[in-house]
A and B are shown apart, each in its own frame.
Chain A
Amino acid sequence: MSGLTGADTVATWVAAIATLVVLGGLLGERRAFGWSQHLLAGLATGLIAVLAIRELIVPRVVEPLLADPGSRGDLWIGLGLVVTTAAAPWIPRAAAAVPISILVGSLAAFALGGAVIGTLLPQLAASLARSEDSAVSTLVTIGSATITVLVLVGFLHGAPRGRLVGTASAAGRWIMLAGLGAWLGYLILSRLVLLLDRLTFLTGDWLGLGR
C-alpha cells in the first residue's frame, strides 16, 4: 500500500475488514455478516437523508422561497403537499390521500406513457417481419416476429384453444425459459466479476500481492 496517505490506508483496512466479514457470510459466519447488513442499511438511510436536505430541500425549495416568496406558487403548492403528507396521521383521511394520489398517479402516468411511446410501440414496429436489404436481415425480422408471436401466445393461460394454438403456446413458454436461462448466465457472469473485484482488492490493494 505504498504511496497512500494515512486516510487511504485506514479506508483500505476498513474496506478489507468489511469485505472479509461479508465473504465470511458464505462460510456460515452470520452474526458479523448481519452487523454489516445493518451498517449498510444505516449508511444508505443516512445518505438519503443528507441528499434530501443538501441537494433537494435547501437548494430547490427553501432558498428559492426565501429569495422570492411571491413568485413561486408551484413550490408553495409542493410544500403544502409535503406538509400534508407529514401530517397524515393527524388529519382527515380524505385530505391525507391527496398528495399520495398525486404522487402515485403522476409517477404511473409518466412511467406508463413512456413505456408505451418509448418501448412498446417502437419494439412492436421493430419486431414486424419486413423485407430488408439482405436475405439474412429479412430472415432475422421474420424470426423476431415469429418469436414475439409465440411468446405472446404463451401467455394464453386457461383460454380455450385447439391443438395448433396449444403447440404454439408450449413453444412460446420454452422460448421464454430459454430467455430466462440466458439471463441467468449473464447474472452469474455479473456476480462472478463482482466477487473477483473484491478478491483482487484483497490480494492487490490490501495485501499488495501481484502488483
Chain B
Amino acid sequence: MSERGDILGRLAPLVLMIILAAAALLPTDAGLDFANADASAARQLAKGLDGLPADPLVLVGFDPDLGTYAEIRPTVRTLIADLLERNARLAFISLTPEGRALAITELERLRQAGIAPARLIDLGYLPGAEAGLVSLADAVAAAGRDSALAPRGLGGRAPSLAIVIGGNDLGPRSWVEQVEPRAPDLPIAAVVPAVLLPDVQPYVAGGQLSALVATPRDGAAYRASANVGDFANVAESDGPPVVSVFLGLLAALGVLGAGVWSRLIDLARGSRAGEAA
C-alpha cells in the first residue's frame, strides 16, 4: 500500500467515528424509529409478564458480557423497572464472574435509585457452571432443599419466572438445557444481544423459551410499550442512536461491498490474463 493509502486507511476509522458521533447528536426521531417495526417479540414478553401472579418472585439470571451489555442495557433496565412496577421481588444470580460484576453494578444502581432492599435479593455468584445450574434447578424444583451450591436466599419460595440476561457462555441455552428439564414449571424468558439471536431463536420456536428480546428493534419496541410507572428513574428509555446505526451499517456494507468488488476485479483480470496467454 502506498504511503497516502496507508494514511487514509488509518484516518478512515477516525472519520467514521466523528460522523457516527455527530449523527448521534441528531434528534432521536430524525425520520427513523426502531420501535415502529415488528413488535411481536415485545408483545410475547409483555404477555408473559401479564401472566405473573400478584407480588411474584422473579429469578434474574444475570450473565451478560462486557462486550455486548451496552446493546441490551436499556432494555434490561426497562424490564427491571417494569417488573418492579408489577410489585415483583427480584432475585439476582450470576454464574460467571463477568456477569456478577455487572450484576453488582446494576444492584448498586437500583439501591441508589431508592428501591426498597426487600424487593432486591442478591443471590450472588453461583460457581460450578452447568453443575451450579443443575443445583439451582433442583433448588427451584424442590424449594427448601439443602445443597452446598444452591443459593440460600430464595427462602424456600419458588420463583414464578426466570429472566435470563445473556451474552456470556452460560446464557439462555444453558438455562434451557439444565433448568428447563428439571424445573419445567418455571417459564424462562431471555434478553440477549443480537449476535446470539441465531443461537437462541430455535428455543422460542420450540416453546422452551417463553419470550425472547434479542435485537435493538425488539428492545426498542418493548421499551416503547412497557409501563414503568413510578420506576421511570430505573428504566433507560434511550436506545442506540438510530441514525448512527443506519450510517454505521451503510459503512459496513460499503466495506463488505468493496471487498467483493476487488475480488471480482481480480477474477476478471485473471481470466483476461488467461485468455491472453
Interface of A toward B, CB cutoff 8 Å: 23, 26-28, 44, 47-48, 51, 55-56, 60, 64, 72, 74-75, 78, 106-107, 110-111, 114-115, 117-119, 122-123, 125-126, 179, 182-183, 186-190, 192-200, 202-203, 209-210
Contact = CB atoms under 8 A, between A and B. Distances in A.
Contacts of B134: 110
Contacts of B73: 197
Given A26-B13, A28-B10, A194 B97 contact: no
B258 interface: no
B216 interface: yes
B178 A51 contact: no
A107 B129 contact: yes
Nearest to A182: B198
A75 B245 contact: no
A123 B216 contact: no
A194 B70 contact: yes
B249 interface: yes
Interface stretch (B14-22, B36-44, B45-53, B266-274): B14-22
B144 interface: no
15 contacts: A27-B14, A28-B10, A47-B97, A51-B125, A56-B125, A110-B133, A114-B174, A119-B177, A122-B208, A186-B198, A188-B249, A192-B245, A192-B248, A196-B240, A196-B245
Contact of A60 (B25, B131, B148): B148
B177 A199 contact: no
Interface of B: 10-11, 13-14, 17, 20-21, 24-25, 67-68, 70-71, 73, 97-98, 100-101, 124-125, 127, 129-131, 133-134, 148-149, 173-174, 176-178, 180-181, 193-195, 197-198, 202, 205-206, 208, 215-216, 240-241, 244-245, 248-249, 252
Given A200-B24, A200-B241, A117 B181 contact: yes
Contacts of A60: 148-149
Contact of B25 (A47, A106, A125, A203): A203
A56 B148 CA distance: 10
Contacts of B249: 188-189, 192
Contacts of B197: 186
A196 B24 contact: yes
A75 B148 contact: yes
* Most chain B beta carbons < 10 A, residue from A111, A190, A194: A190
B68 to A, nearest CB: 5
B68 A194 contact: yes
B72 to A, nearest CB: 9
A64 B216 CA distance: 45
* Most chain B beta carbons < 10 A, residue from A55, A56, A117, A183: A55
A195 B25 contact: no
